[in-house]
């Protein structure tokens, strides 16, 4: 049984490969060929952290995966990453365990990857500016993915911890050869952007409708519980909203749940699941002026797809 480290994953797998695999995975989901139970979540109240178990089987990939991932926001104060993860991979044809994969970087890759897929279908093709709200570990792969599908010329970066935004800007400039400007407020970043990424653990909206220009696309990927929010109700009401999976969004996404509880939004106003769009059941962007929101809480399908791409390249047998 193999073991692949974080360094192995980073060495083997590219963002382009992850985006392609995730798109194929969502096409399989739309065809009904994915077993995807909702993740289980155990909370450590004493330490303000979550530990999640995320199983998935994709018939088209012949692969079962289960990721155990921890999210501990207070790790920032300890100089540690907020997210740690491992994936167990099993051959779904024979039921034989394939291996264990350190999955912190893979999680960041697949979270970026799904934003890449959503951005491909929902943003304007002429989008050139990107706002990143929240400059932690996940933000880096968001820029990598969006740069794969759109010709981004400039990034505006904001974080409540100014030094994190500065570090992020320096790293992205060096790694991706892209211009990054650190700004003093989320509003300043949002008002200048064609595409917005929110990658925070906020419990109150960090993006407001009044800041958003027509034709903007938003990837809201940070909030993953009913009490977390990154996007205000007015934005959700005015936007074409696409989710990774309705069942998951209605169970976990505070950005959707709160407007419904307020009586200002309803389940039937969610335009589509991402699988419906990538499979051609529904259209993505249909107007240069519409505001689009992709709300993701993170699915085990993304982990399975990224693991499939990794193993296919490493073992050349899937």
pLDDT for residue 172: 97
For residues 306 and 277, state if they share a domain. no
Percent with pLDDT over 70 in the chain: 99
For residue 162, the SS3 value is helix
**Residue 317 pLDDT exceeds 80:** no
Tell me the pTM. Answer: 0.92
**Residue 224 pLDDT exceeds 90:** no
Of the residues 67, 120, 164, 295, which is catalytic? 67
For residues 149 and 240, state if they share a domain. yes
Alpha carbon 127 to chain centroid distance? 19
**Residue 202 pLDDT exceeds 50:** yes
pLDDT for residue 80: 87
pLDDT for residue 184: 97
pLDDT for residue 316: 81
In a domain, 280, yes or no: yes
For residues 102 and 137, state if they share a domain. no
The contacts of residue 163 (CB under 8 Å, 6+ apart) are none
For 96-153, how does the pLDDT look when each residue is reduced to its tens digit (9 = 90+)? 999 999 998 999 999 999 999 999 999 999 999 999 999 998 899 999 999 999 999 9
Instruction: Tell me how far apart the 2 most distant CA atoms of the chain are, in Å.
Output: 54
Percent with pLDDT over 90 in the chain: 90
**Residue 188 pLDDT exceeds 50:** yes
Q: What is the CATH number of the domain that holds 124?
A: 3.40.50.720
pLDDT for residue 318: 47
The contacts of residue 246 (CB under 8 Å, 6+ apart) are 267, 270, 273
* 67 in catalytic set: yes
For residues 144 and 250, state if they share a domain. yes
- Tell me the C-alpha to C-alpha distance, in Å, between residue 291 and each of 117, 238, 294: 17, 7, 10
Structural domain count of the chain: 2
Residue 311's domain comprises 2-106+301-315
Q: Are 201 and 133 in contact (CB under 8 A)?
A: no
Average pLDDT taken over every residue of the chain = 95
């Amino acid at each position: 049984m193999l073991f692949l480290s974080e360094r192995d994953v980073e060495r083997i797998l590219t963002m382009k490969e992850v985006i392609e695999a995730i798109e194929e995975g969502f096409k399989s989901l739309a065809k009904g060929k994915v077993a995807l139970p909702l993740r289980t979540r155990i909370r450590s109240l004493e330490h303000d952290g979550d530990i999640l178990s995320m199983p998935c089987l994709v018939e088209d990939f012949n692969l079962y995966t289960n990721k155990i991932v921890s999210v501990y926001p207070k790790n920032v104060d300890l100089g540690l990453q907020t997210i740690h993860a491992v994936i167990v991979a099993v051959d779904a044809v024979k039921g034989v365990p394939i291996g264990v994969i350190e999955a912190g970087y893979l999680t960041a890759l697949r979270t970026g990857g799904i934003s890449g897929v959503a951005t491909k279908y929902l943003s304007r093709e002429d989008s050139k500016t990107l706002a990143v709200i929240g400059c932690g570990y996940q933000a880096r792969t968001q820029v990598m993915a969006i740069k794969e599908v759109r010709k981004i010329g400039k990034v505006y970066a904001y974080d409540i911890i100014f030094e994190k935004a500065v570090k992020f800007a320096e790293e992205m400039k060096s790694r991706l050869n892209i211009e990054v400007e650190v700004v003093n407020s989320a509003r300043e970043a949002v008002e200048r952007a064609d595409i917005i990424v929110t990658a925070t653990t906020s419990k109150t909206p960090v993006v407001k409708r009044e800041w958003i220009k027509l034709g903007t696309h938003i990837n809201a990927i940070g909030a993953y519980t009913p009490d977390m929010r990154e996007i205000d109700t007015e934005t959700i009401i005015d936007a074409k909203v696409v989710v990774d999976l309705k069942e998951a969004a209605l169970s976990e996404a505070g950005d959707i749940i709160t407007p419904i509880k307020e009586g200002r939004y309803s389940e039937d106003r969610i335009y589509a699941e991402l699988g419906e769009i990538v499979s051609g059941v529904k259209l993505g962007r249909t107007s240069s002026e519409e505001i689009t929101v992709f709300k993701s809480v993170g699915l085990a399908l993304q982990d399975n797809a990224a693991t499939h791409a990794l193993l296919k390249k490493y073992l050349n047998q899937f």
